[in-house]
Amino acid sequence: MTITRRGFVTGALAFAGCRGGPAAEEAPTLRVGLVGCGSRGKSAAENCLAAAPNVELVALADLFPDRLARARKVLEATGHPGVRIDPARCFSGFDACRKLLAAGVDLAILAAPPGFRPAHFEAAVEAGAHVFLEKPAAVDPPGVRRVLEAGQRAAAKGLAVVAGTQYRHQASFVETMRRIREGAIGELLSGRVYYHTGANWAYARKAGESDAEWQIRNWPYFDWLSGDHIVEQHLHTIDVMCWVMGSPPLRAAGSGGRAARTGPEFGNVYDHFAVDFEFPGGRRVASFCRQMANTANRVGAWFTGSEGTADVYAGRIAGRRPWSYPGTPSIAQAYVQEHADLVASIRSGRPLDETRAIAESTLAAILGREAAYTGGEPGWDEIAASDLELGPREPAFGPLEARPVPVPGTPR
């Protein structure tokens, strides 16, 4: 389907205290299944359990039995009464997601490596499950289109879809965004967004592991699984960029490369990117991300208007109408709030739908990645229609040659 440029939604509705549905304490039990039992998946499951009463985690799915077993042990050790994982509802293998959905869950948390996200989302919608869709939505343009099409089917079925872009559910961000929209910094002119962090974890290949198994266990370092860290991690600040600017970018120019992570254990991804995103009216946002040991951390988003500036992560506006968010912005609360909003929207009969917002932010990150990878200046329409597909449509264990490290100026 065509991905058109259009105005973005301004953020999640505050459903946590909504009315119109049954009181949470009296609501029917919501059965949750977790697909992808890595650290992010386990945390998402705990956040969901903490978000509302009468929520139970009843099923687990992961490609690898050992990772599933570790997750089950950790989750059961929390002592949360909502952890009710039946061993008969624990599934491993490439078909684990479908088996979990067939076992009967009301809500699926999709937290496997991003390369599997479109297929898992399609399966969840087909099964009639509400979805918590971890970010990013996909790793390539065909995957984004699949997510958008599945999102249309989810909407037609009345299914809720909330993405793992927790800042859209964080009170300080929502209030800062409201003030920007109301003109607190005047006409929006430019911005800069950062995701500079230290080194990421890596998985050392073990004897006897096939190419595919090692790549999937070491997934951040292969483009077909992670989309590279500009898509997998920097997506958070790119999503904030698109939210503030009110639309996806028109085009991008950028650069990047491998300065610190040069060995084969780091697959085919970069360790730094710098991208210039152009928006309507000649407005520009500078975007930077880096994963390197012993370097300074900087994660945030700053925007300049004709009458002031906004530090979105700090919840602070300077200029003619200065303002600061009362209290301390809390990302920990936001991780729970996104699930509270999701559950409340399901129970109210007014399901949230964040499919298009996460799909378009994902495609914006892909646009920036491809600008750096190719050395070109791709436009939104060009990347939206691209047939670039990074991984196998039907992955299986066995030999799997990784794509080469991208070199600007050479064909992808």
The CATH number of whichever domain residue 99 belongs to comes to 3.40.50.720
Question: What torsion, rounded to 10 degrees, do the Cα atoms 390, 394, 399, 403 define?
Answer: 0
> Do 192 and 119 belong to one domain?
no
* Total number of domains constituting the chain: 2
pLDDT category at 7 given cuts 50, 70, 90 is very low
Question: What torsion, rounded to 10 degrees, do the Cα atoms 311, 312, 317, 318 define?
Answer: 20
> Do 179 and 131 belong to one domain?
no
pLDDT tens per residue across span 162-174: 999 999 999 999 9
Counting runs of H as helices and runs of E as strands, what totals does the chain give?
13, 14
Contact 139, 114 (CB under 8 A): yes
pLDDT value of position 49 = 98
> Do 156 and 266 belong to one domain?
no
Is pLDDT of 22 > 90? Answer: no
Q: Identify the CA nearest to 60 among candidates 19, 12, 112, 20.
A: 112
pLDDT value of position 160 = 98
In the predicted model, what is the mean pLDDT of residues 284-294?
98
pLDDT value of position 411 = 84
Dist CA 75 CA 79 (whole Å): 8
pLDDT tens per residue across span 365-409: 999 999 999 999 999 999 999 999 999 988 999 999 999 999 999
pLDDT value of position 245 = 97
> Do 178 and 226 belong to one domain?
yes
For tokens 């799997």, name the residue.
400
Domain region containing 216: 168-330+362-384
Whether the pTM exceeds 0.85: the reply is yes
Contact 187, 306 (CB under 8 A): yes
Apex 296 CA angle, 220 and 194, nearest 5: 65
Is pLDDT of 23 > 70? Answer: no
pLDDT category at 24 given cuts 50, 70, 90 is low
For tokens 């971890």, name the residue.
134
Dist CA 304 CA 308 (whole Å): 6
pLDDT category at 412 given cuts 50, 70, 90 is confident
pLDDT tens per residue across span 157-203: 999 999 999 999 999 999 999 999 999 999 999 999 999 999 999 99
Axis crossing angle, helix 331-348 with helix 171-181, rounded to the nearest 10: 80
> Do 228 and 346 belong to one domain?
no
In the predicted model, what is the mean pLDDT of residues 259-269?
96
Is pLDDT of 349 > 50? Answer: yes
- What are the backbone angles phi and psi of residue 191, rounded to the nearest 5°? -160, 175
Phi-psi sector, 308: left (phi>0), alpha (psi -120 to 50), beta:
left
In the predicted model, what is the mean pLDDT of residues 103-108?
97
| Omega of the bond leading into 351 within 30 degrees of 0 (cis) | no
Q: Identify the CA nearest to 275 among candidates 258, 308, 253.
A: 253
Dist CA 383 CA 385 (whole Å): 5
Q: How far apart are the first and last CA of the chain?
A: 23
CATH of the domain at 278: 3.30.360.10
> Do 64 and 127 belong to one domain?
yes
> Do 339 and 300 belong to one domain?
no
> Do 340 and 192 belong to one domain?
no
Is pLDDT of 327 > 90? Answer: no
In the predicted model, what is the mean pLDDT of residues 248-276?
97
pLDDT tens per residue across span 27-72: 899 999 999 999 999 999 999 999 999 999 999 999 999 999 999 9
- What are the backbone angles phi and psi of residue 210, rounded to the nearest 5°? -75, 165
pLDDT value of position 3 = 58
Q: Cα 287 to the chain's mean position, in Å?
A: 17
Beta bridge partners of 278: 251, 284
> Do 38 and 67 belong to one domain?
yes
* Pair of tokens at residue 51: 């978000």
- What are the backbone angles phi and psi of residue 325, rounded to the nearest 5°? -65, 130
pLDDT value of position 153 = 98
pLDDT category at 21 given cuts 50, 70, 90 is very low
Beta bridge partners of 318: 309
Is pLDDT of 15 > 60? Answer: no
pLDDT value of position 5 = 45
> Do 140 and 180 belong to one domain?
no
Axis crossing angle, helix 171-181 with helix 235-245, rounded to the nearest 10: 30
The 10 Å Cβ neighbour count of residue 113 is 24
Is pLDDT of 123 > 80? Answer: yes
Question: What is the average pLDDT score of the chain?
Answer: 94
